[in-house]
Amino acid sequence: MLTARSSGSRLPYRSQSVGSLADPKVWQKGVRYLRRKDPVLAKVIGSIGPILFKLDIDHYEAIVGSIIYQQLAGSAARAILNRFKELYDGRLPSPREYLSTDMDKLRSTGLSPQKISYIKDLAERLLDGRLDLKHLETLSDEEAMRELDAVRGIGRWTAEMFLLFKLGRTDVLPVDDLGLRKAAKKIYRLRKLPTRKRFEELAVKWHPYSSISTLYLWRSTEKRDIPAKW
């Protein structure tokens, strides 16, 4: 479950998004802000150049995709996702279609029993009204993550991917993402992988545009696939 974290006398990180990354003016303002506040990140932004950011179209598909991508390399996740879609003529199933699919067929795609159960719980909640994905757009970052956290298998990382890639929130910082911390270690020339606390300290100057920092750190590692984009 989502819990507060203490970082000494400093308040724990809480996202405070300001607008949508899908708005070019918000994106440009965020990039200018980060380049001014963080010289190290400014060099990364300059080296990589502009990133074309587009929101995922469907709320449900965004979460199903994030579940499939959990703890997998991008290539492996894409292969499973493609086999999964092949069961439904190249698309993701509706919640009702998914619940009527034979378990053996789902396993044949490479989905683990755990992930099958996670998507099942999501589908059931959507059908019985316990979860309204469209309503999440009206909530704050933390409120939306708490709603998603109630779904089996959706932890903070998956909720953060939804806020970033579907809702376009500007201040999403996946502090538990190993690839992100590895990228930070490289560009800030740290001797060891930053702890969560150390990573939050590095990111203080990024708020309220840490989503843009996150995307650039992922992109800075050539072999790193940006999660949840397929």
Indicate whether 130 and 175 sit together in one domain.
Answer: no
Indicate whether 150 and 78 sit together in one domain.
Answer: yes
Dump pLDDT digits (tens) for 128-162. 999 998 899 999 998 998 899 889 988 888 889 88
Identify whether 68 is part of a domain.
yes
Q: Hey, how many other C-beta atoms are within 10 angstroms of the C-beta on 57?
A: 8
The yes-or-no answer on residue 177 being catalytic is: yes
User: At 99, is the secondary structure helix, strand, or coil?
Assistant: helix
Catalytic residue among 56, 141, 171, 177: 177
Identify whether 16 is part of a domain.
no
The Cα–Cα gap between 133 and 57 comes to 13
Identify whether 5 is part of a domain.
no
Q: Do the Cβ atoms of 141 and 121 come closer than 8 Å?
A: no
What residues contact residue 135 under an 8 Å CB cut-off, 6+ apart? 147
Indicate whether 147 and 212 sit together in one domain.
Answer: no
Identify whether 6 is part of a domain.
no
Q: Do the Cβ atoms of 167 and 137 come closer than 8 Å?
A: yes
Q: What is the pLDDT of residue 9?
A: 33
Identify whether 130 is part of a domain.
yes
Q: Hey, how many other C-beta atoms are within 10 angstroms of the C-beta on 213?
A: 28
Indicate whether 45 and 107 sit together in one domain.
Answer: no
Indicate whether 150 and 175 sit together in one domain.
Answer: no
Q: What is the pLDDT of residue 113?
A: 95
Indicate whether 160 and 133 sit together in one domain.
Answer: yes
For residues 29, 35, 36 and 37, what is the CA-based torsion angle, rounded to 10 degrees?
100
What residues contact residue 71 under an 8 Å CB cut-off, 6+ apart? none
| % of the chain residues with pLDDT over 70 | 90
Q: How many domains in the chain? A: 2
The Cα–Cα gap between 34 and 42 comes to 7
Q: What is the pLDDT of residue 222?
A: 60
Indicate whether 146 and 178 sit together in one domain.
Answer: no
Q: Which domain holds residue 83?
A: 59-165
CATH of residue 131's domain is 1.10.340.30
- Residue 176's pLDDT band, with cuts at 50, 70 and 90, is confident
The Cα–Cα gap between 73 and 39 comes to 31
CATH of residue 38's domain is 1.10.1670.40
Identify whether 11 is part of a domain.
no
Q: What is the pLDDT of residue 74?
A: 75
Indicate whether 135 and 158 sit together in one domain.
Answer: yes
CA geometry: angle 59, 62, 67, nearest 5 deg: 130
Indicate whether 130 and 188 sit together in one domain.
Answer: no
Question: What mean pLDDT value characterizes the chain?
Answer: 87
Task: Answer yes or no: is pLDDT of 1 > 50.
Answer: no
The Cα–Cα gap between 109 and 72 comes to 14
Identify whether 13 is part of a domain.
no
Identify whether 229 is part of a domain.
no
Query: Of the candidates 12, 70, 34, which has an alpha carbon nearest to the alpha carbon of residue 196?
Result: 12
